[in-house]
């Protein structure tokens, strides 16, 4: 056998290295899917109740509120921003929805969502007009809006008395075998995904997040785009508050507390980076499901809530590390 034949018959180091890089790239790209599948398999082995249809539907229903907030947070982080006021928006929206329920379902929903939109617009204007950093602007509105919640509720629960079936449907109803909030979340996710991928506004969100100055030179109205992004975040957080009030038939003054941190965690786990311009709502949905199913199996195993908080912190760190690794590759 000649040297040429030996060379042709053996895999070159370059081709082997290329195959390794390709496999590693696929692993990194679909790491969220693999993590979710692995979690489901392990959870089903650890608890016999995990895969029951009742448990799965309850988890999906409970994840709806965080999911809605997370989709809005994805828009903001893609735009290289942050929205710390999302949890407070959920709180004020839930309280107002419960308080206006006796005026009718339409009025209650409209007021709850409008409150979220109003706070989102204020966030956008503080950032674009007053030139405040997103962290400072939304931290300020987070505290201010939570104060409004306590003033409106006077520190007590706002109870919806004689809640109608129409009012509770959004949070507790079913469309066929599927909970209504899950259908709502799926619809919002679809609209958000299509908007980001196929509309001028969606492409501008990515462009501004990737390079604000280049986006401005390309003719994109950067300030308007930012205001719209925070408005979307406020709208979805307000909608989450409406669903929460509909499900509990009560507006709690502490409703939505720390929702913004769970939403940020889900967004980062989903692959959206703080550098902006990278990620999407598809990955965020996977992040929401990972967080929801993880919390569920830990509850089924009677793990302490304090230990769960520690674990969530570790997961966020790992998500950021994976995100940076994915970006470098």
As given in the structure block, the two tokens for residue 123 are: 């966030």
DSSP letters, 152-221, are HHTTS-EE-TT--HHHHHHHH-EETTEEHHHHHHHHHHHHHHHHHHHSHHHHHHHHHHH-HHHHHHTT--
Q: Where are the domains of the chain?
A: 50-328
Q: What is the pLDDT of residues 247-306, one digit of tens each?
A: 999 999 999 999 999 999 899 888 898 888 889 999 999 999 999 999 999 999 998 988
Query: Domain 50-328 belongs to what topology?
Result: ABC transporter involved in vitamin B12 uptake, BtuC (1.10.3470)
Going by pLDDT thresholds of 50, 70 and 90, the confidence category of residue 311 is confident
Contact between 98 and 71 under an 8 Å Cβ cutoff? The reply is no
Q: Output the pTM of the full model.
A: 0.90
Handedness of CA 166, 172, 174, 178 (dihedral sign): positive
Average pLDDT, the chain: 90
What residues have CB less than 8 Å from 93, skipping those under 6 apart? 112, 113, 115, 116, 237, 238, 239, 240, 241, 242, 245
Torsion of CA 184, 187, 193, 199, to 10 degrees: -120
With a cut of 60, say whether residue 216 has pLDDT above it.
yes
Going by pLDDT thresholds of 50, 70 and 90, the confidence category of residue 321 is confident
Q: Is 272 helix (H, G, I), strand (E, B) or coil?
A: coil
Q: What is the pLDDT of residues 102-156, one digit of tens each?
A: 999 999 999 999 999 999 999 999 999 999 999 999 999 999 999 999 999 999 9
What residues have CB less than 8 Å from 249, skipping those under 6 apart? 98, 159, 160, 163, 167, 168
With a cut of 90, say whether residue 100 has pLDDT above it.
yes
With a cut of 60, say whether residue 57 has pLDDT above it.
yes
Residue with tokens 């709180």, as numbered in its chain: 91
Q: Is 251 helix (H, G, I), strand (E, B) or coil?
A: strand
Percent of the chain topping pLDDT 70:
90
């Amino acid at each position: 056998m000649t040297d040429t034949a030996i060379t042709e018959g053996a895999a070159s180091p370059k081709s082997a290295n290329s195959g390794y890089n390709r496999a590693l790239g696929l692993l990194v790209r679909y790491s969220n899917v693999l993590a979710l599948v692995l979690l489901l398999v392990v959870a089903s082995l650890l608890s016999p109740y995990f895969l029951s249809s009742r448990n799965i539907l309850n988890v999906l229903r409970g994840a709806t509120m965080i999911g809605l907030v997370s989709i809005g947070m994805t828009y903001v982080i893609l735009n290289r921003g942050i929205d710390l006021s999302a949890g407070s928006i959920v709180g004020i929206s839930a309280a107002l929805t419960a308080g206006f329920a006796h005026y009718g379902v339409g009025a209650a929903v409209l007021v709850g969502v409008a409150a979220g939109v109003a706070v989102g617009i204020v966030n956008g204007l503080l950032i674009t007009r007053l030139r405040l950093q997103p962290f400072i602007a939304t931290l300020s509105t987070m505290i201010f809006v939570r104060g409004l919640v306590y003033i409106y509720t006077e520190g007590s629960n706002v109870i919806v008395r004689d809640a109608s079936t129409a009012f509770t449907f959004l949070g507790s109803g079913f469309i066929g075998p599927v909970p209504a909030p899950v259908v709502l979340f799926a619809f919002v996710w679809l609209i958000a995904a299509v908007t980001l991928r196929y509309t001028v506004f969606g492409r501008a969100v990515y462009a501004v997040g990737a390079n604000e100055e280049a986006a401005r030179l390309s003719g994109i109205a950067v300030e308007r785009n930012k205001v719209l992004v925070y408005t979307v975040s406020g709208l979805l957080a307000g909608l989450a508050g409406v669903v929460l009030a509909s499900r509990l038939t009560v507006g709690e003054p502490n409703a939505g507390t720390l929702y913004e941190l769970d939403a940020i965690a889900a967004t980062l786990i989903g692959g959206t980076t703080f550098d902006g311009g990278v990620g999407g709502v598809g990955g965020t949905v996977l992040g929401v499901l990972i967080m929801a199913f993880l919390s569920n199996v830990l509850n089924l195993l009677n793990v302490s809530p304090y230990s769960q908080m520690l674990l969530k912190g570790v997961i966020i760190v790992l998500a950021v590390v994976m995100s940076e690794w994915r970006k470098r590759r």
